[in-house]
Amino acid sequence: MKNYEKYARGYFMPPQSSLNWTRKEYITEAPIWCSVDLRDGNQALIVPMNLEEKLEYFKLLVEIGFKEIEVGFPAASDTEFTFLRTLIEQNLIPDDVTIQVLTQSREHIIRKTFESLQGAKKAVVHLYNSTSVAQREQVFRKSKAEIIDIAVTGAKLLKQCAAETEGNFQFQYSPESFTGTEVDFALDICNAVLDVWQPTANNPVIINLPATVSMSMPHIYASQIEYMSEHMNFREHVILSLHPHNDRGTGVADAELGMLAGAQRVEGTLFGNGERTGNVDIVTLALNMYSHGVDPKLNFENVPGIMAVYERLTKMKVSERHPYAGELVFTAFSGSHQDAIAKGMKWRDVKEAQRWSVPYLPIDPKDIGREYEGDIIRINSQSGKGGIGYILQQKYGLDLPPKMREHFGYCVKNVSDRLQKELMPGEIHDIFVKEYVNIGTPLEFVKYRSDGDNDFQTVVTVRTGSGTQELAGTGNGRLDAISNALQTHLGLEYTDLVYTEHALETGSKSQAVSYIGITSPNGSVYWGCGMDADIMTSSVKALFSALNNMSR
């Protein structure tokens, strides 16, 4: 590919090795979550949300369980300012939820920000300025010392305005574009801000280290975070926070490794909405923890409902392949996958298993509001007998014999292949009924009777194109006697009659369903299914269905 030579690695390794995070196996507890949907996410929308939409979205975030929510950049526009004032004046912020606001390190913006916060019970004031080499050289054209002065001046003004404003304020600082900043310089500027704020156990400070633009592989980001964590002033009174973007498609990995490296807090958005490729996706990140048996401290028990509100308010679409949330992420079309899932689900029922370990399903779809029916197995020309059988059993109570499932599987795949489309459960059931159930031509079953109490002698009445006739037969039971009568009087030839049956609940009526397979003289196997309120009658209908399939 042309022009690759013009790209250089724009990130910086820590001054010394920082690899202790590599010894940790997994994240053992949820971080402090901060949603930035209403600020970072909202500013990335083609059409930002209006006041009513932002209020509804805020309510959604509270219901999910976020305790920290960045509500906007109140000095940036009247809409942002009005939204924050509405939250405060209408008392819409629960006592256990802290709002967060963003401000550049500029005096008039900082003062406007505190004006918007009058009367807030508790708020995080998030101060930032850009620190990367590219920003210093190309945008601000300032030295390192001048960039530090911008941050320190802003930090002092935050402290002054907080003392002059009614409310309970916590401070946060971000060296914006941290990932393009020399790590030792990022440490210097954060420590300079911390020296101004002097955090304590009762008044901790948040230092947020954003992957404003993702530049490195995740292990580099983790090493940067660990170095900062180990060398930061007042570390025991600092809440170390992450704000990963997804430019390299590694936002979730950056956050996960960053937490292993010492971060205690994560800023992100639902479904990863945000500038360019988006922010870190909190739904994915939280449910990754959940899949390891860790409580994420957020309620995603109704992901479809959350997704519906998100899509309506943001006008964004969640991809069908989006982790956990996407329409198809729990769905198997492949025959081998379907077979493994069906067997795994059956194994769970038989074993009454408490731990989740179903093949191809990292979590139980029901735990996040998804349904098995129509979600985990869907049928097309790539599907197999296991998945098709699973659909019939789960939705219609039909438990086909293994060999019949295989035969029916080819029928369904042929239809799907011919139509070039996915088949819905109702269509699959219709194919089954058409192919196997109570087939009455060319040989129609009318009735049967046994001579007295002797099942060994049975008379079956049949109707063909030439009329109705009664056929008598003997056997080791009524079905065997009827089978013998048909072979003797009608010249039908078949062997290896295979028979199974079970009860079938359909609404308020209980029916019996029977399955019969027969082998023709040339070795082909034909199947039939009978359904009737009487188990014996269902068996006879299944035999007639199989014979008619052989005749056809």
What is the spatial distance between Cα 370 and Cα 70, in angstroms, rounded to a whole number?
Answer: 29
Per-residue pLDDT of 15-49, as tens digits, reads 998 999 999 999 999 999 999 999 999 999 999 99
Q: For the segment 502-527, what is each residue's pLDDT rounded down to a tens digit? A: 888 655 467 899 999 999 999 999 99
Strand arrangement, sheet containing 467-474:
444-451, 454-464, 467-474
Q: What is the pLDDT of residue 508?
A: 44
User: Vertex 94, ends 92 and 98: CA angle to 5°?
Assistant: 105
Find the angle CA(177)-CA(180)-CA(182) to the nearest 5 degrees. Answer: 115
Across 18-32, 67-81, 221-235, 504-518, least confident range: 504-518
Q: What is the pLDDT of residues 413-464, one digit of tens each?
A: 788 788 888 778 888 899 999 999 999 999 999 999 987 566 678 999 999 9
Distance CA 386, CA 381 (A): 13
Per-residue pLDDT band at 371 (split at 50, 70, 90): confident
Full DSSP string of 91-127:
T-S-TT-EEEEEEES-HHHHHHHHHHTTT-SSEEEEE
- CATH 3.20.20.70 occupies which residues in the chain? 20-304
Which residues pair with residue 516 across a beta bridge?
A: 499, 528
Q: Supply the pLDDT for residue 335.
A: 67
The pLDDT of residue 378 is: 66
CATH 3.30.160.270 domain residues, the chain? 444-551
What backbone torsions phi and psi does residue 315 show, to the nearest 5 degrees? 65, 20
pTM: 0.82
b/e burial code for range 314-346 (CB count within 10 A of at least 16 → b): bebebeeebbbbbbebbbbbebebbbbbbebbe
Give the pLDDT of residue 380: 62
Look at residue 321 and tell me whether its pLDDT is greater than 60: yes
In this structure, which amino acid lies at residue 508? S
Name the average pLDDT for the chain.
92
User: Can you give the pLDDT at residue 428?
Assistant: 87
Cβ 489 vs Cβ 443: under 8 Å: no
Tell me the per-residue pLDDT of 153-210, one tens digit each, with 9 for 90 and over: 999 999 999 999 988 999 999 999 999 999 999 999 999 999 999 999 999 999 999 9
More confident residue, 457 or 257: 257
Residue 133 CA to chain centroid, in angstroms? 38
CATH of domain 444-551: 3.30.160.270
**Percent over 70 (pLDDT), the chain:** 95
- 117 and 85 Cβ atoms separated by less than 8 Å: no
Nearest C-alpha neighbor of 498 from the set 415, 406, 389: 406
What is the percentage of the chain residues whose pLDDT exceeds 90? 77
CATH number for 20-304 (one of 1.10.443.10, 3.40.190.10, 3.20.20.70, 3.40.1010.10): it is: 3.20.20.70
The whole-angstrom separation of Cα 70 and Cα 125 is 9
- Pick from 107-111, 339-343, 352-356, 529-533: least confident: 339-343
Mean pLDDT for 345-355 is 90
Q: Residue 306: its pLDDT value, please?
A: 98
Q: Confirm if 138 and 184 have CB atoms less than 8 A apart.
A: no
Does pLDDT of 139 surpass 80? Answer: yes
Write out pLDDT tens, residues 398-427: 999 989 988 888 888 788 788 888 778 888
Provide the strand spans (E) within 160-219: 169-176, 205-211
In sequence order, the β-bridge partners of residue 519 are: 495, 525
pLDDT winner (highest mean) among 83-97, 406-420, 484-498: 83-97
Q: How far apart are CA 273 and CA 280, in angstroms?
A: 8
Q: What is the DSSP string of 234-264?
A: TGGGEEEEEEEB-TTS-HHHHHHHHHHTT--
